[in-house]
Amino acid sequence: MISSSPVWHPFTQHAVHGEIPAIVRTDGAWLEVADGRRIFDAISSWWVITHGHRYRPIMQAIRAETERLDQVIFAGFTHPPAEELARQLIAITPSELTHVFFSDSGSTAVEVALKMALGFWLHSGEGRRHILALERAYHGDTIGAMSVGQRGVFNAPYHPLLFDVGRLPFPHQGREQETLDALDQACRERPVAALIVEPLILGAGGMLIYQPTVLAEMARICRHHGVLLIADEVMTGWGRTGTLFACEQAGIVPDIACYSKGLTGGVLPLAVTLCQRAIFDAHYAEDRRKTFFHSSSYTANPIACAAALANLKVWRSEPVRERIAALAEVHTKALDRFRDDRRFENVRQLGTIAALDLVVNDSGYLADIGPRLYRHFLARDMLVRPLGNTIYLMPPYCSTADELSAVYEAIAALDVDH
């Protein structure tokens, strides 16, 4: 279908996608189409919306900040919203994370983390350059982020741009030791600069879950070999896994941590990369060649920072953790009906994230079943965007039990042969 719109949409094959709904209003867990139709946002508009669309305290903070500041250059200048946000982030993350670098998306937060790690080793005199990552990982769509992601359909056209990365097998249940042994061996074979992981769960890699004990052991091996650990909490942060940050469940402190998506409640684009003091100190010198050469024009946008400050206030003043626990309980009960259903396998959950795989002959991200599943849910006024044959739910925290039950009924109504 050829659209009359000049817009080129992300991760969308326009030749086969069909009509693209125009959303004219959002409210809570719902998207409203121009014709008045309402669609339940079961994936938080690509995992960003936490408390709900247009959450009042955050929207009020945005309006107020527009009366004071718009964009301010952040190279050699600063402003109160960024300073206060940095201090508050330092207060709620491990004390070892002492410095905050602002950017504007999850991909750029990861890009910053990789550049920090490489700069640290260069300026420390070792020059380590080798990066390790998990198989099936996805860390974003900028060049560095693609490089540490799984090679495949997402980045095949861009292979000439990507740098080589060491791959570790995903720690599937019962095979965790293979991953740990591979990590230890890789660190013994050559100097490794950093290991980057999505803690506890791979997002776009298929919502694959692994145990906190595995993450803790990976961190221990990295410490033993002097390897930096980068935690990509872009998706896992802000309550998605049941705790504020996923690393809490493993009791670990990464050397570098990336946060975005829910940082502003999902309302405005903003990202931060936090690091330990040694990494900042390696770049701190009278020699200007050791400057950390990274920025974007909109670094630490004051209005986005104000939204993030409002989000942190919501976490302090409202029962967000209780809402998350209640949402997780709804998932747990609803998933029980599918555990013995032969149409599905690998029924799983981590906090507010639920996933199950539809048993089909053709699996993977480009499986034909993916677009069919998408249309199945959209026809029922639900935004569910499967990863191939993997159906997952990651709804906003304001979602009710009845709203989620309707989605699970739609899953139960699937006709695999249809």
Q: Where are the domains of the chain?
A: 14-54+319-412, 60-317
Burial class (CB in 10 A: 0-12, 13-18, 19+), 14: middle
Q: Where are the beta strands (DSSP E) in 104-255?
A: 130-134, 166-168, 192-197, 201-202, 208-209, 228-232
Maximum pairwise Cα distance, the chain: 67
Reduced DSSP (H G I as helix, E B as strand, rest coil) percent helix, strand, coil of the chain, to 5: 40, 20, 45
What six digits make up the tokens of 33?
A: 């189409």
The domain defined by 60-317 folds into: Aspartate Aminotransferase; domain 2 (3.40.640)
Separation of alpha carbons 343 and 415, rounded Å = 9
Mention every residue, 6+ apart, whose C-beta is less than 8 A from residue 339: 347
The pair phi, psi for residue 61, each rounded to 5°, is -65, -40
* Residue linked to tokens 């006709």: 415
pLDDT at 153: 85
Decide: 121 and 342 in contact? Cβ < 8 Å. no
33-39: list long-range contacts, CB under 8 Å, 24+ apart: 37/381, 38/381, 39/378, 39/381, 39/382, 39/383
Query: What is the reported pLDDT for 367?
Result: 84
Closest CA to 292 of 101, 130, 72, 127: 101
Q: Please give the C-alpha separations between residue 398 and each of 52, 55, 95, 177, 191, in angstroms, as whole numbers.
A: 6, 10, 31, 39, 46
- Asked whether the domain spanning 60-317 has the same topology as the one spanning 14-54+319-412, the reply is no
Length of the chain: 418
β-pair partners for 31: 26, 39
CATH architecture observed for domain 14-54+319-412: Alpha-Beta Complex (3.90)
Half-sphere exposure of 311 (CA within 13 A, CB side): 31
C-alpha span between 303 and 108 (Å, rounded):
19
Phi, psi of 103 (to 5 degrees): -145, -160
Instruction: Per residue of the chain (418 residues), give pLDDT as tens.
Output: 567 899 999 999 999 888 899 999 999 999 999 999 999 999 999 999 999 999 999 999 999 999 999 999 999 999 999 999 999 999 999 999 999 999 999 999 999 999 999 999 999 999 899 999 999 999 999 999 999 999 988 889 999 999 999 999 999 999 999 999 999 999 999 999 999 999 999 999 999 999 999 999 999 999 999 999 999 999 999 999 999 999 999 999 999 999 999 999 999 999 999 999 999 999 999 999 999 999 999 999 999 999 999 999 999 999 999 999 999 999 999 999 999 999 999 999 999 999 999 999 887 788 889 999 999 999 999 999 999 999 999 999 999 999 999 999 999 999 876 4
CA distance linking residue 64 with residue 231, whole number of Å: 33
Other residues' Cβ atoms within 10 Å of the Cβ of residue 56: 11
